[in-house]
Structure 1
Amino acid sequence: MLQFTFLGTSSGVPTLTRNVSGLAIQHNNSKEWILIDAGEGTQHRIQQAKLSLQNLKAICITHVHGDHCYGLVGLLASAGMGARKEPLIVIAPKEIQQWFEVTCQLTDLYLPYSVEFIDVGTLTHAVQVNDEIQISTIALHHRVASYAFAIEATQQHKKLNLELLNTLQIPKGKLWGDLQQGKSVEWNDQVVDSKSVINITTLHIKAIVSGDNDQPELLKAACENVHVLIHESTYNQATLEKVGAAPMHSSAKMVAEFAQSVSLPNLILTHFSPRYHHENGMAELKQEAQQFYHGQLFMANDFDCYELNVNGELSQIHFAKPKEK
């Protein structure tokens, strides 16, 4: 039902193997997609992932730190140069809108489409992005105001009522196919409305994508019935204790303990400090998380793609292992 494509998985600065934060989310039923964070260089990653800025429906910025937003204005400008006409939703801290407006003034930037800014700090209701996806927010704890985005997706499953079709003695074949496609058919001198022979079930899945946060427990209430949590894991616990509380980030241990405490079925860790951008470093972070979390764990790489199906089952559908130094 939902696909997650990681466009950047590094914290702070890009490296040779990882760009800074960016995550594309797409519903299987639509070409439209949403972007969570837009660090510097995100638009290059979008091109490499073969995503279209014409189909971008909404951008969510978790907080104002540059590794999560410095690529936003360039991305918006490129969409304009690509002749985009459709309006775009941007859910972000109010400072992002201020920065964008000043940049437009100082750099003679004109967009041929409208941008609807929604202040994430005052958002009290879910934003319906399209027929399939709605977005809500959860306040986190960081050096600046930071937020998580809860992505809720729905999909209607239509199934013919075989018992009723047999009772009506409608033969299998073209008539069944037409009814499945929502068309009315004629049978035995009567019109059979497709709605009368189709059972519709609405399926729901939910994912949470967290911004920078040193208190994972703030997500406890929101994690009820969540199928996957995507959360920063900047350090291991030993490094976090060494650097102290000032950076206000999470360790692999912290996130893993939280995920286990709320029985999350799937956990994807991302936003890794450059000090871990090698095989041994990533293995160290993963091993620490596995000590405390016993669900399905993934360590995200740039261009990794995951799919969350209608049953809430998460699988990796593309693996892009970075080249190690």
Structure 2
Amino acid sequence: MPNWLKSCIKLTTKEKRVSKKCTRHLQPDIPRAPPFKGMDITFLGTSSGSPTHKRNVSSLVLHLVTGEQWMFDAGEATQVQIRHCRTASMGRINRIFITHMHGDHIWGLPGLLSSLLIGIEECNQLHLYGPSSLDEWIKSTIRMSRTILPRNKLVFHPLDARQKGHFVIVDDDNYTVHACPIKHTIPCWGYVVEEKKTKGNIDAAKLTLMGIAPGPIYKQIKDQWDQDLIVLSDGIVLDRKSIMSEPKEGRKLVILGDTCDPSNIQEISMDANAIVHECTLPESMAHLSRQRGHSTATMAAKFASKIRAKSLVLNHFSPRFCDDTLRKELDLASRHYKGNIILASDFGIFQVAPNKSKSVG
């Protein structure tokens, strides 16, 4: 083999090693996903206004026990973040909820819609919720870029800024979602996702002692899980509380858009399992934060305490925040809220713990 050819082969091998090393360096450090708990949040972007080296702009994905994935906001490069993510999947997103029309919450949406609706991983139907002006913006962007989206696959649900209180926008067999206007510099919404009650567990041992063996009759019992008295096909009447654990209360998750005052959503947020609340500026800039329609960690902590939330997830940090500043803000927040406080990070996962069901009496 000629020497010049050997040199080329050596060079090519070296280039491959360098290329692999560079690729590894460019990949974000993504933690492995913990075992799924039925209501998990993956944060795709936790920065406010503009991205940083560690944080992209606003977006998160809610993973549900039904296999669905719901997205809340879609800032610039959200689609890229999904590609890097271990848990979020383009093919499973069937609902997107937009909180408001500021660019760091919506600029990734047109490209994402194109991929979801006409790309390789197209879905059957996609539901989009947001301000009424969102529809006009999407249509203008799609028209000017000469992109064709199949109309029958995108269902838009406009939110009326004139509506004062909360209202239901999703109500299916498993979940209810309320939307509620909250105070910001432009019309903005918060969302409350409520999991419906689930069936209690049958005490098979107790039923066996009563002479009721496992079989089709168990289905009759389960189908009447929400009744105090269970009537079987042979006329036998059973006290549900004596043979089944109490139905398990569903979880409640509050996800807020940008706000300096979310009090309008307080009523339906009470006793939430978790609240995701923005924390744009440090407490030293609290006055400016209110002027700009934003919150500090202390403001978020006070609201979480007011609604008796079990966990508070702080999100939407200004690029001016450094790790030391965030730790100081966390300390300040803990003075006003005694629950669990988490600082959201890109690709971080927060699990909303399931409620415990009461045992059979």
1:211 to 252, 257, 262: 257
Q: Would you identify which runs of 4 or more consecutive aligned residues in structure 1 move more than 4 Å?
A: 178-184, 196-200
Aligned residues: 299
Q: What whole-Å deviation, never above 9, does each CA across 1:157-179 have from its counterpart, x for those lacking one?
A: 34224322332253xxxx46x77
In 1: Cα distance, 2:284 partner to 2:46 partner: 21
User: How is 1:216-295 mapped onto 2 (pairs within 5 angstroms)?
Assistant: 216-241=262-287, 243=288, 245-276=290-321, 278-295=322-339
The alignment's TM-score, normalised by the length of structure 1, stands at: 0.83
**AA matched with 2:305:** Q
1:131-185 per-residue CA deviation (whole Å, 9 max, x = no partner) reads 3222111111111101100111125234224322332253xxxx46x7768899x
Deviations 1:206-256 (A, max 9, x none): 111000001133332222232211110111221233x36431111111111
Structure 1 stretch displaced more, 2-11 or 216-225: 216-225
- Give the corresponding residue for 1:38: 74
Asked whether the equivalents of residues 305 and 337 of structure 2 are also in contact (C-alpha less than 8 Å), the reply is: yes
Alignment equivalent of 1:117, drawn from 132, 139, 156: 156
Q: CA deviation at 1:257?
A: 1.8
1:307 — aligned with what? 351
Give the number of the structure whose residues are more often strand, by fraction: 1
| Partner residue, 2:131 | 93
Taking only aligned residues, the RMSD between alpha carbons, in angstroms, comes to 2.9
Amino acid at match of 1:8: G
* 8 A contact 1:63–1:147 mirrored in 2: yes
Q: 1:144 aligns with which of 179, 186, 200?
A: 186
1:57-78 per-residue CA deviation (whole Å, 9 max, x = no partner) reads: 2100000000111111110111
In structure 2, give the amino acid aligned to 1:146.
C
CA contact (8 A) 1:63 1:211 kept: yes
Moved more, 10-19 or 255-264: 255-264
AA paired with 2:173?
D
The structure with the largest alpha-carbon Rg is 2
Q: Secondary structure at the match of 2:201?
A: strand
Q: Do the aligned partners of 1:267 and 1:295 also contact (CA within 8 Å) in 2?
A: yes
Counterpart of 1:15? 52
| Structure 1 unpaired stretches of 5+ | 185-190, 313-325
User: Are 1:168 and 2:211 matched, yes or no?
Assistant: yes
2-structure distance, mates of 1:310, 1:62: 26
* Greater mean deviation of Cα atoms: 50-59 or 264-273: 50-59
Structure 2 stretches lacking a partner, 5+ long: 1-37, 223-232, 357-361
Change (3 A) 1:218 1:236: farther
Give the 3 Å change call, closer, same or farther, for CA 127–239 of structure 1 in structure 2. same
- Asked if structure 2 preserves the Cα contact closer than 8 Å seen for 1:21 and 1:39, the reply is yes
Q: 1:81 to 1:129 in 2, by over 3 A?
A: farther
What's the TM-score, normalizing by structure 2? Answer: 0.75
